[in-house]
Structure 1
Amino acid sequence: MITMVKGAPLVIKLLEGTQGIGVVLAETNQAAESVIQAFMGMKANIMVQEYIKEARGADIRCFVIGDKVVASMKRQAADGEFRSNLHRGGTASVIRITPEERSTAIRAAKAMGLRVAGVDLLRSNHGPVIMEVNSSPGLQGIENATGKDIAGMIIEHIERNAMPARKAPPKPKG
């Protein structure tokens, strides 16, 4: 796993973690091996990711509904922290995403079979990198940052796409 992400530094995540809990930055291969062994010894499901230094503790949350990014925000980690989660002291602000970032977020949600998703991207030297596709993203942070009613947009999407079209009752003959 360490070799697959080109070695340390790298990020190790518990798959069951939320809000940045269970996310570790391993700065050396030896530290990575120790953390992986510890998590595996606890029979935890983990994922190993390349550390994108040039992101400088920032990520982009794209909120996808259907085949559209309806909102996006930049999350910036607190000083001395690499995790940009708002629950870890990060801040959120509105951001304009590039067409490539928009396309990447939509394709990521579709690849996971999701009609509603929070897609977290990092800006890397080689283009947008998907960090996570969240099937149950929180709404509070993105609604506060963007001023958009994301919950209302989700409800509208469900009403448009999940409800069968109503047919008029048959006209009586005669």
Structure 2
Amino acid sequence: MTTFAHDPKQTEEVLELAGGAPLVIKLLEGTQGLGVVLADTDRSAKSVIEAFRATKTNILVQEFIKEAGGTDIRALVVGGKVVAAMQRTGAEGEFRSNLHRGGSAKIIKLSPEERSTAVRAAKSMGLNVCGVDMLRANHGAVVMEVNSSPGLEGVEKASGIDIAGKIIEFIEKNAKHGATKTKGKG
């Protein structure tokens, strides 16, 4: 379960909606694992939420999936298809699996459910190219994040697939001359 918080008066409601501690609290503007905190108790979660809210920033509060064990899946979706996937594992003692936080990556074969979940997440966000981060929970694949500007280096290295090339191929195949939506020239 993921909840969004903007109003500091909603802290109790956000904690309740997310199912109580332990919880993962994320700054919306964070990247590469920065601005992500694991709160073990409701009291610490409330303190972290209030501290983040004092900076007038938007946050997400997510259920902590303990069974994931510091491992997640990044699926790269291009044009409604998963073109590559990797499993990321956090550094020793780290719940965040980001490669920039010392995590490691290896190629992984997705289950049909995971593949379908990634494609549906991309479609629901209206994205032709994205990275879908998922966890393997006891109740199935859960989406943590859909990244509209995913880094390619880690997944290209882990998979050996030229994902940038696949993105370019998709654009070449689907671009229609003169059909851009921008108003600028150049």
What band does the TM-score fall into relative to the shorter chain? over 0.9
Distance (whole Å) between structure 1 residues aligned to residue 54 and residue 177 of structure 2: 49
For 1:145-164, what aligned pairs fall within 5 Å after superposition?
145-164=158-177
State the shift of 1:91 in Å: 0.1
> What are the Cα deviations for residues 100-141 of structure 1, in whole angstroms up to 9, with x where unaligned?
000000000010010000000000000000000000000100
Percentage of matched positions with identical amino acids = 67
What is the aligned partner in structure 2 of residue 77 from structure 1? Answer: 90
State the shift of 1:5 in Å: 1.4
Query: Which segments of 5 or more consecutive residues in structure 2 lack a partner in the other structure?
Result: 1-13, 179-186
Distance (whole Å) between structure 2 residues aligned to residue 129 and residue 96 of structure 1: 16
Compute the TM-score of the two structures, normalised by the length of structure 1: 0.93
Amino acid in the other structure paired with 2:60:
M
What is the aligned partner in structure 2 of residue 170 from structure 1? Answer: none
State the shift of 1:18 in Å: 0.3
Amino acid in the other structure paired with 1:133:
V
Amino acid in the other structure paired with 1:160:
K
Amino acid in the other structure paired with 1:153:
K
> What are the Cα deviations for residues 4-56 of structure 1, in whole angstroms up to 9, with x where unaligned?
11100000000000000000000000000000000001001100000000000
Distance (whole Å) between structure 2 residues aligned to residue 146 and residue 95 of structure 1: 8
Distance (whole Å) between structure 1 residues aligned to residue 156 and residue 87 of structure 2: 13
State the shift of 1:164 in Å: 3.8
- The alignment status of 1:65 with 2:74, answered yes or no, reads no
Compute the TM-score of the two structures, normalised by the length of structure 2: 0.87
> What are the Cα deviations for residues 46-94 of structure 1, in whole angstroms up to 9, with x where unaligned?
0000000000000000000011000000000011100000000000000
What is the aligned partner in structure 2 of residue 168 from structure 1? Answer: none
Distance (whole Å) between structure 2 residues aligned to residue 148 and residue 163 of structure 1: 26
State the shift of 1:163 in Å: 3.1
- The alignment status of 1:131 with 2:144, answered yes or no, reads yes
- The alignment status of 1:36 with 2:44, answered yes or no, reads no
Distance (whole Å) between structure 2 residues aligned to residue 24 and residue 143 of structure 1: 28
Query: Which segments of 5 or more consecutive residues in structure 1 lack a partner in the other structure?
Result: 166-174
Distance (whole Å) between structure 2 residues aligned to residue 5 and residue 56 of structure 1: 19
Amino acid in the other structure paired with 1:5:
A
> What are the Cα deviations for residues 125-161 of structure 1, in whole angstroms up to 9, with x where unaligned?
0000000000000010000000000000000000000
Amino acid in the other structure paired with 2:123:
K
Aligned residues: CA RMSD: 1.0
What's the secondary structure of 2:96's corresponding residue? coil
Distance (whole Å) between structure 2 residues aligned to residue 73 and residue 163 of structure 1: 32
Distance (whole Å) between structure 1 residues aligned to residue 177 and residue 56 of structure 2: 44
What's the secondary structure of 2:97's corresponding residue? coil
